[in-house]
Amino acid sequence: MGTVLLASWLVACADGLYFYPDQRNYLVAGSPAHQDFFVQERPGIRLHGWFIPAEPRVHVRGTIIQFHGNAENLTAHVGQVYWLIHEGYNVVVWDYRGYGASTGHPDRTGLFHDAVTMVRRVQARPDVQGHPVYLLGQSLGGALVLAVAGSGQVHGISGVVADSAFASWRGVAREKLRSAGWLGWSLSWLVPLVVSSGYDAQRAVAHIAPVPLLLIQGDQDAVVPPDNLDMLYEHAQPPVFRWQIRGAGHVEALTRYRAQLRQPLLDFFAYCLDGNTRDLAADGLLKP
């Protein structure tokens, strides 16, 4: 009994490590032009987001909803997707419960409900209706976007992108314990007893088709082991694309490698509408 209780305590600590919210403003140069909006998920939970309209001089191609990683808040992540407004896309960045100006405290089930509610509310906006809607998640946000897209609770999505997503919550907990020293390593086998498999991306990803799916991860990712990409790809159904970026670390597709992946990513969004694969890879950058 003592061993199980100790393992539960360790996994609870690991569960706490999933979420690192804060309320700091990371945009020292000022915020981009945007519309603040709030969504009431349930009593006591109010979600905050920014709607950043596509550049007026370009034709609106759709709306991209970003699901950010487990740390900080939307002001730290908006820079990774802001460039898309110049390509004709409205961009929505938002915070999970407990992050930024969103109220509440983050937990796995709560984030899932937040995400479903946010997608539905964005889809209902008059300035979004009539155009494609894409979901783009990074790290924890990648796992969340796969869980939501494969849940059957959101409809009318044109495409899904998951960058550096983990396949299962148990897998992440196991990695956290093993990185906590000899005690955590020795107790990591108890993870299945104390961590549920609810909202796992690995299970949900099989149900995203026929919506096109793009899975991205660096082969040098030190946060989420690169074999998570293979696990997700093996469970996904066509149409699905797998980009393993040579030399890239965690969530570097839209930062360090943006210049090389910019056009292939835009081509993926276009493919979601017309089925033309074009050249959905950057020469010499992606591993086979």
Mean pLDDT in runs of 10 for the chain (288 residues)?
A: 54 66 91 94 96 95 98 98 98 99 96 98 98 98 99 98 94 66 52 67 98 98 94 98 96 95 96 85 67
Q: Is the residue at 20 inside a domain?
A: no
pLDDT of residue 135: 99
Q: Which domain holds residue 41?
A: 34-167+202-287
Q: Is the residue at 3 inside a domain?
A: no
In angstroms, the CA 130 to CA 132 distance is 7
Find out whether 280 and 159 touch, Cβ atoms under 8 Å: no
Q: Is the residue at 4 inside a domain?
A: no
Report how many domains make up the chain.
1
Q: Is the residue at 176 inside a domain?
A: no
Grouping H, G, I as helix, E, B as strand and the rest as coil, residue 106 is: coil
pLDDT of residue 199: 94
Tell me which residue has tokens 């539960």.
Answer: 8
CATH number of domain containing 99: 3.40.50.1820
Q: Is the residue at 21 inside a domain?
A: no
Amino acid symbol at 91: V
Q: Is the residue at 180 inside a domain?
A: no
pLDDT of residue 17: 61
Q: Is the residue at 7 inside a domain?
A: no
pLDDT of residue 284: 64
pLDDT of residue 198: 82
In angstroms, the CA 149 to CA 199 distance is 11
Question: Half-sphere exposure (CA, 13 Å, Cβ side) for 157?
Answer: 28
- Give the residue among 197, 200, 236, 196 at the shortest CA–CA distance from 216: 236
Q: Is the residue at 234 inside a domain?
A: yes
**Phi, psi of 172, rounded to the nearest 5 degrees:** -65, -45
Edge to edge, the sheet with strand 45-52 lists 35-42, 45-52, 89-94, 62-67, 133-138, 159-163, 213-218, 240-245, 286-287
